[in-house]
Amino acid sequence: MEKLILKKPLEYEGKKYEELQYDLDKLTGDDLLTVEAEVTISGTLAPVMDLSKAYQAAVFARSAKIDYAMMRKLSAKDFTNATSAVMAFFGE
C-alpha cells in the first residue's frame, strides 16, 4: 500500500484528510471496467480512456477506497499527483 501525502489537507464529509492510502496493485480488470463505465456515464468522452484525467482520478479513487467526488475537491497539485501515480502505474 502506498501513500499520497496531500500538499493541501482536505476536509470532506466532516473528515480531514492529510494523506490518502492507495493500492493500485490490488485493482482487477473488473475494477477498471467498472470505473470506465462510471466515467462514461458521467459524460466523459475520451478517445483513449487511460489518458483521461477523469478516468485516472476515478481509478485512483477506487484504489484509495474513496468517493470519486472527493477526488474533484483535491487541490490541483494533489489531484495531479494522484493522476500521475495512476499514469506511472499504467506505464510500468
Looking at residue 46, its pLDDT comes to 79
Is the per-residue pLDDT at 87 higher than 80?
Answer: yes
Q: What value does the mean pLDDT of the chain take?
A: 94
* Rg of the chain (C-alpha set): 12
pLDDT tens-digit series, residues 6-43: 999 999 999 999 999 999 999 999 999 999 999 998 88
Is the per-residue pLDDT at 44 higher than 90?
Answer: no
Whole-structure pTM value: 0.93
Percent of the chain residues past pLDDT 90, beyond the cut:
83
